Every structure is written in structure tokens, then in C-alpha cells.
Amino acid sequence: MLYRLKDAGYQAFLVGGSVRDLLLGIRPKDFDVATDALPEEVRRLFRNCRLIGRRFRLAHVHYGDEIIEVATFRAAAAPPEVDDEDHREIDDARVHDDSGRILRDNVYGSIEGDVWRRDFTCNALYYNIADFSVWDYVDGAADVHARVMRLIGDPETRYREDPVRMLRAARFAAKLGFTMHPETRAPMDELASLLGGVPAARLFDESTKLFLGGHGLASLESLIDFGLLAHLLPDTADELARDPSGPAAKLLRLGLAGTDARVASDRGVTPTFLFAVLLFGPIQRLALAKIANGTPESHAWSDATDEVLSTQVRRVAIPKRFTLPLRELLVLQPRFERRDGRRSLALLQHPRFRAAYDFMLLRAEAGMIPAEVATWWTEIQTVPAEERHERLAQLAQVAPAEGGEPGDTPDGAGRPRRRRRRRRPGGGGGSDAPSA
Ligand code: ATP
Ligand code: MG
């Protein structure tokens, strides 16, 4: 790939995280390439290439399921005086908004300019394919060895240009265990609120990198430490502030640690489960408040989920394909605790059972529900279908309190009663009927 660029007469450098990670002895997550070839020229060279991005135009070269990101050198802050070739449209010039945010950065240049618009010194090392040398204009190698995150240039200006750099700082600090250079850390407190002006779709992408990249728990701690969490996940930050070591905080940390473990062992992770973990605290708080005000349990959970999600998605654009299953997963939760009729076994057949069950295990681990409930649901899955009703019946005899009234349970003949369960007025619980 690099050689094809070189052989076509272009400069080709490996840059960014891959060079940094190789210096640190970590396996790079992906490879970024910098070149003096224009995006169109890259596309002409590689059949398997797509041009993406408007704010920042890039070529994506596909190799199987791997993507190599090829960026054309950008000019340094001041656009070069003569840079008006026909194919560089006026539209492509670098555009700022009032807060200094760069809206578009497509003014092409040379490597000497390119280096200054990279974010951190550790990300600005160039590995030249032509002679295997590392080009280091900003003492990046020294910072990598000292394990320091340092922004290139004036930190305040650089955060204003792109506030997402604050989140990137938190992410790299978490992933690499680097410390922040004091001057790189200092402007954050004042500038964190600029994250409010970043498009919600970009914040979704960045959130998945923060939390699903294998260092989610450490990312959370960095975000808290840097005062950024409240600008990304305000309700979550609020919940943690109210009860820093309560069950919701525990669930959040256990959930992120579990996600990290899955990433480490190459098991799949989904934004659905992630955001359920991130938002469960605030959703539960709201649902319980609604129940206390007389809303039936089932409505309380779905309403609380909808309310918390609708505020959250305005800031972080979680796509519907994740929020819809998230809602289902959470709304099923009360059914695990209510093992008292044929509906409880139907839960096993629910298309969201697996995710809902995993989430229930997490709640048990966080001490939100009895461990015995988790064990029961784990075991029932190993029991042949014919015996499951018997299990329900046994449960009713052993622990009548949980299933409601003793007389209100399966009759012990291996079949649940068919009659509908009635609740005492004001009993709340799982009744779908509207309550007073
Ligand atoms: P990762 O290990 O997550 O891939 P990375 O450092 O490679 O980390 P990328 O998002 O892949 O990060 O970006 C590649 C490189 O592009 C970065 O190392 C950095 O030099 C530059 N870069 C990316 N985003 C920005 C930004 N917002 N501002 C300045 N430079 C950036
Ligand atoms: Mg990268």
C-alpha cells in the first residue's frame, strides 16, 4: 500500500497512532497514512478506495475488513499564498466558526505544514517508507518515552479549533496511561463547554471510541478527572455526583470493566449494551420517582427510558438501531424479578432475552437485585423445557413472598394456572392496569 504510493512518485508516511503504538510496543489498532498525493490521486491509484468526509476529506483504502486511512498533507495554520489550482475548489478552504472551531480543513500542503495541525506530539511522528526513518518535528518521540500527552502549539487555540481534542486527550491518556502535560490540561476546565457545539453524530463516534475501544473504564475515569463527562453524558455525570459509590456507579464501572474484558478477548460489544450501562443510573432514578408518584411499573420504565434517551441523543446522536433495542432491554428488567406466572417463562423466548439477561446479571453483581434471582435465571436455561414449569412451582413453595401470594402461584401440577393474576389495589408491582 505504502509502496504503491511511493512507486507512483508520491511521498508516503505511516503516521499517527500506529507509529506511536509501535514505539510503545503496542499492536496498532489501525494504520494511518499521510501523503502528498491528493485524495483524487489516491483514488486513481487504488481500486478499493472511497473518499469520505467533508470537514476533513480523506481516502479510505479497503483491504478485506481493514481500512487504511490516507490523508493528504494539510497546510499549516496560515494557508499558503499560492494555492489556487483549479481542482482545489474555493469551497475546500479552511473555514472557522465564531468560537475558532475549524469547520473545514482541506487546504493541502507539505509535510512541514501537516505536522503542525496534528493534535498531540505523540501522534505527530512520521515513518518514511522510502528509507524507514522517523521524522519528528515536535519532539514527539521524547514525549512518547516520557509518556506525556502534549498538544502541539497553543493549547487553548487548538482546543477551540476542535473541542473533540479534549475527548481525544482523555481517550489517549486512558489507553496509553500517559499523563497530561500541565499546559495541555490547564485550558480544559474553561473550554469543556465548547463540546456543546460539536455535532452530535461526531460525539457518538467519539463515545464509541472512548468506551468500546478496550479502555472504557479508564476513559470514564479520565473524563471525570478532566471535567468532560458532564458535557458528554450529563445525566450520567449527575448520577455519579449524587451517589459516587452507590449501586448505579457500581453497575457503571462493572459494566465498563466487562466491556473491556470482552474487547480484550475479541468478543463482540455493542453500543446498545454500552449506553444501557451508561444511562441505567439516571433511567432508574427517574423510573423509581415515577413509580413513587403512582405510574405503573411497566410504563414508568419505558417513559423514563424515553425521557433520558431523548435528552441524551440531542448531545450524542445514538442511532435508532441502538436505542430501540436498548429500550427493550431495559423495559424487560422488572420481569426477571417477577417469576410468578407463565409470562415469566415466556421471557426466555423473547428476542432480547440474551442482552436483557446479561444486563440483569450486571444488576445482580452491582447488588441491585438478589444474587439468587440471577442464579435462578442462569439455571433455568439449562433445564429441559418440560421441567421449567416445575421450577416455577418449586419457587412458589420455597419463596412465596417473591412471587406474590402463595395461593397466587402455579398449582404444583407442573402447569401454571391459566387465570390472570389479580393484584390488590395499590399493590403496584407489575400490573399493566392504570393505577390511581
Ligand atoms: P488510534 O490508536 O485510536 O487510531 P490515532 O492517533 O491513530 O489513534 P486517529 O483518530 O486514527 O488517531 O487519527 C490519526 C492521526 O490523525 C492522529 O494521530 C493525529 O495525528 C491526527 N488527528 C486525528 N484527529 C485529529 C484532530 N481532531 N485534530 C488534530 N489531529 C488529528
Ligand atoms: Mg489511527
- pLDDT score at 399: 53
Residues 6+ away with beta carbon under 8 Å from 407? none
Whether the CB of 123 sits within 6 Å of ligand 1: yes
Residues 6+ away with beta carbon under 8 Å from 34? 12, 13, 15, 16, 70, 71, 72, 73, 111, 114, 126
Residues 6+ away with beta carbon under 8 Å from 238? 230, 282
Query: Which residues are part of the catalytic machinery?
Result: 30, 32, 119
- pLDDT score at 101: 82
The alpha carbon of 123 and the centre of ligand 1 are apart by a number of angstroms equal to 7
Quote the pTM value. 0.84
Residue 412 lies in a domain: no
- Positions of the chain with pLDDT under 70: 77-94, 341-342, 396-436
Tell me if 66 sits within 8 A of 47, measured CB to CB: no
The alpha carbon of 17 and the centre of ligand 1 are apart by a number of angstroms equal to 6
What is the SS3 assignment for 155?
helix
Question: Within 10 Å of residue 78's Cβ, how many Cβ atoms?
Answer: 9
Whether the CB of 164 sits within 6 Å of ligand 1: yes
Atom of ligand 1 nearest to the CA of 164: 27
- pLDDT score at 94: 63
Ligand nearest to the CA of 123: 1
Taking the C-alpha atoms of residue 60 and residue 46, their distance in angstroms, rounded to an integer, is 10
Question: Within 10 Å of residue 288's Cβ, how many Cβ atoms?
Answer: 14
Residues 6+ away with beta carbon under 8 Å from 262? 268, 269
Tell me if 100 sits within 8 A of 161, measured CB to CB: yes
Residue 112 lies in a domain: yes
Residue 39 lies in a domain: yes
Whether the CB of 165 sits within 6 Å of ligand 1: yes
pLDDT in tens, 165-217: 999 999 999 999 999 999 999 999 999 999 999 999 999 999 999 999 999 99
Residue 312 lies in a domain: no
Atom of ligand 1 nearest to the CA of 209: 3
Looking at the 3D structure of the chain, how many domains does it have? 2
Helices (H), 177-227: 182-185, 188-191, 200-212, 216-225
The alpha carbon of 210 and the centre of ligand 2 are apart by a number of angstroms equal to 13
Closest CA to 160 of 232, 101, 206, 118: 101
The grid coordinates listed for 225 are: 478527572
Identify the DSSP state of 379.
H
Taking the C-alpha atoms of residue 202 and residue 371, their distance in angstroms, rounded to an integer, is 39
Tell me if 157 sits within 8 A of 100, measured CB to CB: yes
Question: Within 10 Å of residue 269's Cβ, how many Cβ atoms?
Answer: 19
Residue 309 lies in a domain: no
Among 85, 119, 146, the domain boundary falls at 146
The alpha carbon of 401 and the centre of ligand 2 are apart by a number of angstroms equal to 55
Residue 137 lies in a domain: yes
Q: Which residues sit opposite 51 in a β-bridge?
A: 59
The residue range of the domain holding 115 is: 1-146
The grid coordinates listed for 164 are: 473533540
Ligand nearest to the CA of 21: 1
CA atoms within 13 Å, Cβ hemisphere of 376: 26
The grid coordinates listed for 115 are: 505536522
Q: Whose CA is nearest to atom 22 of ligand 1?
A: 118
Among 130, 146, 162, the domain boundary falls at 146
Residue 430 lies in a domain: no
The C-alpha angle 224, 225, 226, rounded to 5 degrees, equals 95
Atom of ligand 1 nearest to the CA of 124: 20
Whether the CB of 162 sits within 6 Å of ligand 1: yes
What is the SS3 assignment for 177?
coil
The alpha carbon of 18 and the centre of ligand 1 are apart by a number of angstroms equal to 10
Whether the CB of 30 sits within 6 Å of ligand 1: yes
Q: CATH number, domain at 8? A: 3.30.460.10
Residue 409 lies in a domain: no
Q: Whose CA is nearest to atom 21 of ligand 1?
A: 118
Question: Within 10 Å of residue 400's Cβ, how many Cβ atoms?
Answer: 15
